[in-house]
Structure 1
């Protein structure tokens, strides 16, 4: 009888395991982008010009990652993503040298939305995703604010739900940036300090609507500083806030997008306000060729203003490989010091020309 009992237990366990394996379908995918170029710009800080390979981004940042999902049944899924950002010119890691500096999260997903925990892309990025036709390129509106293409939050909880064209999203970070000062927008503000609730906290929110022909989005992003963090957010009471309102519409072969970004930095003597406006279009005369153009206007009232003009052409050699060329021209006001190229330098008040040509492969 004991032997029969053991045999029945073994059979039952095997059936349960087989049932579990059949019920729980899982998948893991490897993906990535390798994008690099050669760039030139004049009037670099200290005089002269620069020629070389961009270190932060080409037309888009280079990355590779792993993403996976497991079907839990009843319309529920477990998901994860690990995403690395790297510099093709050197092979080094971007995002403060982190192995998975772009994203690293685990979460749950169903018809009511997606809940994630980890290092997350926050709602500032999603607000700009459709309206900004140029994106995180070397020549782009992001030269005015290095945080915008790096809008990510450490130690965060995130939610996003999509309901008949409406998107609702939010993130809350207990400590927004555990990376040291190396890299763009890294601020050495890990937070999670006992007895200091505000230290390095951050929250972002998004409301958007997208149809087949147009879309609009609005987001709000507020972060706190802490003692020991990079200036100017060196106090938990100091805050840095960004509001974005933008939109786009599409026609056959044409897309037009534009918007407004407002930043309010409250940090004692370093406090500042700016407004950034952008308007751009993409025209694709044939399936394998696309032209982009955008104008960006930066205004810091009573201090300076700058205007950035960008034009770009993409030729798609295949679904995976693209060659491109980009031209940027920065018109700085008398006190302006915004470079035409991401990660570049410029003489104060100078007009600056930048050109770039590169290749991108997606896998």
Structure 2
């Protein structure tokens, strides 16, 4: 009888252990996406007056989508609650280098709880601006996209962040609060800003300064309705300046090489956007107003709209038009077309064509992260391949 009881007890313990393991899971995933990019009227550095000529190169920052790999985990805690985490690393497929300020998990590194009332996360993560953008633009963070007009948009992530996101009957509500929005910097000239170089993915604002709770603080909030066919959303995004990582340095505005020297200097964005889905056709668009307050105010408005159409189950066409208008008259229009052929559920080939029309003061490049000259009418052509795992 004792042997039977012992055997029963051991079996029960083993089965309980197996069930506990079965309730948790970890998924390895990723995207490798790169292409060959040709651009006319290319410049070697910002501020160049005349173009150096056309340029051809393999993409590094992003192609159709940024390359990345990651781990996601989920454990059932019972009563409708799950423990979750995500670690995601961005890399340059042309060289293997780390992206996002040379961080191993620069795209995300968070842990959280998922409940029937919403999800709470803590760590480095995308904020509500990024979430709303992915719902309202057909080009996403592609090389030719809104990233060409505002480099903050594909880099809208925050360190030291607690977030909440909930959805009820298609109504959504979310927010993030960061005590130090960016704990990374890039090395630059020792004579400029304490040796910190401008990098929209590492803006030198670690925060957590004793006696100054608003230094490097970032707050984002989202409210909207995400229906199956129609969705609208509104976003508020505020990021503040503060002391930088290096002695004598201060933080940067992620959109441009503009110093945010203290916590009273800030950049605020307001976004209104949405989508409409009708069968195989998707229409998306919105407007983003930005105001940066330092010793003076600097303002921009971006208007964008696009459409996506599944021609067949294997062919998708995308197109988007966007315009930026600024308070210092640096205005431009950007036109992008993309065709994607799906070889399988995981592998695709694509081509993109972009054209940017700068006025005499503006020098936005058609490819995000690259350079052109004031007044350029620049064309870009990209051919690439993407593989998901």
Shorter-chain TM-score tier: over 0.9
1:39 alignment partner in structure 2: 37
TM-score by length of 2: 0.88
Residue 196 of structure 1, CA deviation? 1.2
1:128 aligns with 2:133: yes
3-state SS of the aligned residue for 1:129?
helix
For residues 157 and 14 of structure 1, do their structure 2 counterparts lie closer, same or farther at Cα, with a shift above 3 Å needed? farther
Q: How does 1:224-303 map to 2 (within 5 A)?
A: 224-227=240-243, 228-230=250-252, 231-269=258-296, 271-303=297-329
Residue 198 of structure 1, CA deviation? 1.0
Distance 1:22 1:329 in 2: 56
Distance 1:54 1:20 in 2: 47
1:22 alignment partner in structure 2: 19
- Provide Cα deviations, 1:255-278, integer angstroms capped at 9, x if missing partner: 111100010100114x31000000
8 A contact 1:40–1:356 mirrored in 2: yes
| Greater Cα shift, 15-24 or 155-164 | 15-24
Residue 23 of structure 1, CA deviation? 4.9
Distance 1:229 1:13 in 2: 59
Distance 1:63 1:303 in 2: 36
Residue 19 of structure 1, CA deviation? 4.0
1:192 alignment partner in structure 2: 208
For residues 112 and 13 of structure 1, do their structure 2 counterparts lie closer, same or farther at Cα, with a shift above 3 Å needed? farther
TM-score by length of 1: 0.94
1:215 aligns with 2:231: yes
1:107 alignment partner in structure 2: 112
8 A contact 1:23–1:73 mirrored in 2: no
What's the C-alpha RMSD, in Å, of the aligned pairs?
Answer: 1.9
2:63 alignment partner in structure 1: 58
Distance 2:122 2:9 in 1: 36
Residue 304 of structure 1, CA deviation? 2.4
1:88 alignment partner in structure 2: 93
Aligned mate of 1:78, from 74, 83, 90: 83
**Number of residue pairs the alignment of both structures matches:** 356
Residue 22 of structure 1, CA deviation? 3.0
Distance 1:341 1:278 in 2: 17
3-state SS of the aligned residue for 2:63?
coil
1:362 aligns with 2:388: yes
